[in-house]
Structure 1
């Protein structure tokens, strides 16, 4: 800044300080244009206006030397359009904008004010009422600060011509602006919609304190507004608490109605084949928690036991998807416990203490729980973790909190912890197969796993099937499974903190056919989207592929079987130009081969090759879709 500019600013400040107290008060607290009734007040206003103009000139000179941001970094263009419609008193345009699915009354103008603040300062009662009914927040604060000529000009055009354009209006709420225009009706509407009468603007004034300066400048007493504000100041904390409680109860009721229409069991069954016991037990526990029938001092903890590939991890993912939806990236935390097999790995779990490597990075679990304390936490293959990690988890499961390496305590009583384990998988699988052969049924589905057994009716058509459920007996669990768990973890207090141990059984024949059909449908969708090839199959293909099930590898064995016996055929035919993009393939069973060694073969009803049907995409085993 040049010496001339500095001297100009100094002179301006000197003039400012020599003005009367009234002039200073007006500059700091009052609007720039208010009607006066006497000639004396008119002369005073003229003096104020000249002083204000000089101050504005100084502000222009100063702002031209700064390089600050001129507008909000994140701004929705809809905010500017809404404010413009309000200033132009175009109610029709405002309603049209409100019909937009993306409409929000709480968007900001690019220079920092809200539509409700514009409607208030424009003294437009119908628009104020309309915006409040649409959910406008009366407690949002103005972010305007005069950083440029452009900002000042836009302020006068898009907000108000009656306010000083070079004044700091940060932290002003709609209630402050309602006091400026002295409209008791608007003040009452804002207070009825929980406008905070105790909030302070950038000058440290509440709306009622700000009212005193307006009255001092205008000479008019607004007793009605003063009484409204005074009464609400004493009752606001109670009113706000009651309002929040009503909102909370309404939200709980809304969530309850949604759960009635969309039961958790249905959502889980849509993704998980079989495993009805674990699904219903898990859903029942979550339902107790959601409806307040749980111990709020402890998080829910589950242990999923069973063979690999029977849906343990997938069930945890499906639960997180149902509870967190679009926030799944934060709402689902998966930690592979095989990475914590050594004593020193504890530091990676909760974070390194001060002075050690990795202190600034934090722990893999604690940092994610800070972001989402009610996340679904999957601790995969927990039996592989070092005993010291399990010791940390004791506090986590018992008290619902964990202290990281920096000494910060993370509260996570609302989290849901799911541990998976392959312990006793062979015993569980062998017992399940034996029970299926014996068709043994147990009625206890809350603490055991279930699967489906298919039996023909003795007095009905042999083609009709009925579903019956099998479950592990309590004696088998107590005398076979639990001793294996105790032998491995060697601590009763750890297993005692688990709410429920759920057992996942190998799939039945009917469930295997369903898994196979789902896998074929998945590849049919890929064939269509990547290559425009229509893929169909006859029912016998499903039976042939289901025979490739390996009880030790679970559903993964079906996936590999489909890739080997189906996808390889189509990929080879596509590579040899036997079927082109836009063609059609049909899978059948080669009945000329022995029944035990049946294979699938490919029929090509349509070769395809129309370039117009060719979609863009990768190869058969590409990363897309």
Structure 2
């Protein structure tokens, strides 16, 4: 279909060129009748026809293919980011922290550690036979570990879908290794290949997230050691898979309870932790609180967490990681910023429908109070926004109370979050 469209355009262009040449010859020879016919009849008709053909032709169809076109097509086929093929990424890497902070809130130290490790790798300081980067993320749930993995995929590989995630609670059995690299010859699923090896073979540039890595079968760590040490892995069919352009992120839940006990925040806004009303437990909580600044992690807590990590993982495994990064609990300001980020997504969605929406300070504070718990982190915030704001907005739309160009506001009435037209 596309080839036929281009062919018709080329045919019309040739006719138009020939008509213009004939017009020039007719004018030179003094054949005014033919010249008039060409000038006022044939040529305008061909020009109009050409405009119509070009208008209905798909915008992606071009008579000439540029370098940008080739780079984009190859990028789609291979998963290699366009910027890796077309121009230097030095400026982008130097500005890495600022770009990632737009999405990941409150983890300045973690973002800086990741950025420095990536720059070391890209500048050639790291062994080229190893993965692009390998990190162990430690910290309570809901503080931004997975979000940072998503931000890395989008920043480095220009695509949020360049994140491959494995829930390692599904790989606790000894036979689970075959799920990653493929079943042995003669077994069911041999021809399908492994979930890990096939995914990386098809898309060599991506972030690989191993969630709850401490639950994985010990045999799986032997596979990871091969990847971390040599940057490649042999699947069940004997084929080598290149992991040198991947980033490996491992997230255990080890030490999360210890770090939660060290959170210090204003309890009237962010309930920190439920403790039994006994003198001993209250003393433990108070002693930990004194060691930690707001939202930070004290050195004593870090040492305690690292002891747990060292007892869970083999030394040769930990030594092959580029960085072990501890995420701290979120502060009050972090929660407000996360609410702003989540609310901005809603604003962009409504802007497509030519609607605007704003959030009152009282509503923001109530969302922070009801949507954050240390044991769950910031994850409930999205649910609170959905239940309190999006559900109310949906009712307004269905009742035809909202039309294009309306302005909405989220406010609080009788300790309840509501939405109304301004």
Q: What is the TM-score when the length of structure 1 is the normalising length?
A: 0.49
Matches within 5 A, 1:310-389: 310-326=143-159, 328-329=160-161, 331-389=162-220
C-alpha separation in 2, matches of 1:253 and 1:271 = 26
CA RMSD in angstroms comes to 3.7
1:535/1:252 Cα in 2 relative to 1: closer, same or farther (>3 Å)? closer
The structure whose RCO (Cα within 8 Å, separation 6+) is larger is: 2
1:567 aligns with 2:390: yes
Corresponding residue for residue 98 of structure 2? 266
SS at match of 1:547: helix
Q: Is the 8 A contact 2:172 2:217 kept in 1?
A: yes
C-alpha separation in 1, matches of 2:115 and 2:126 = 13
Matches within 5 A, 1:54-65: none
1:409/1:86 Cα in 2 relative to 1: closer, same or farther (>3 Å)? farther
Q: Which segments of 5 or more consecutive residues in structure 1 lack a partner in the other structure?
A: 1-72, 108-133, 138-249, 442-452, 454-469, 606-625
C-alpha separation in 1, matches of 2:394 and 2:89 = 48
Corresponding residue for residue 14 of structure 1? none
Q: Is the 8 A contact 1:105 1:136 kept in 2?
A: no
C-alpha separation in 2, matches of 1:346 and 1:432 = 38
Q: Is the 8 A contact 1:105 1:135 kept in 2?
A: no
1:488 aligns with 2:320: no
What displacement does 1:515 show?
1.4
Match of 1:547 among 339, 355, 369: 369
1:391 aligns with 2:222: yes
SS at match of 1:360: helix
Q: What is the TM-score when the length of structure 2 is the normalising length?
A: 0.71
SS at match of 2:134: strand
What displacement does 1:521 show?
3.3
SS at match of 1:353: coil
Q: Is the 8 A contact 2:262 2:292 kept in 1?
A: no
Corresponding residue for residue 142 of structure 2? 309
C-alpha separation in 2, matches of 1:366 and 1:87 = 55
C-alpha separation in 1, matches of 2:182 and 2:383 = 39
SS at match of 2:158: helix
Corresponding residue for residue 410 of structure 2? 587
Q: Which segments of 5 or more consecutive residues in structure 2 lack a partner in the other structure?
A: 19-46, 48-53, 71-82, 265-285
C-alpha separation in 2, matches of 1:258 and 1:506 = 31
SS at match of 2:105: coil
Q: Is the 8 A contact 1:349 1:363 kept in 2?
A: yes
Q: Is the 8 A contact 1:566 1:600 kept in 2?
A: yes
What displacement does 1:105 show?
4.1
Corresponding residue for residue 344 of structure 2? 521
Corresponding residue for residue 44 of structure 2? none
Corresponding residue for residue 257 of structure 2? 426
Matches within 5 A, 1:284-295: 284-295=116-127
- Deviation track 1:315-351 (CA, whole Å, cap 9, x = no partner) reads 111111112215x54x332222222121111111100
Corresponding residue for residue 16 of structure 1? none
1:253/1:105 Cα in 2 relative to 1: closer, same or farther (>3 Å)? closer
What displacement does 1:429 show?
2.5
1:383/1:399 Cα in 2 relative to 1: closer, same or farther (>3 Å)? same
What displacement does 1:379 show?
1.3
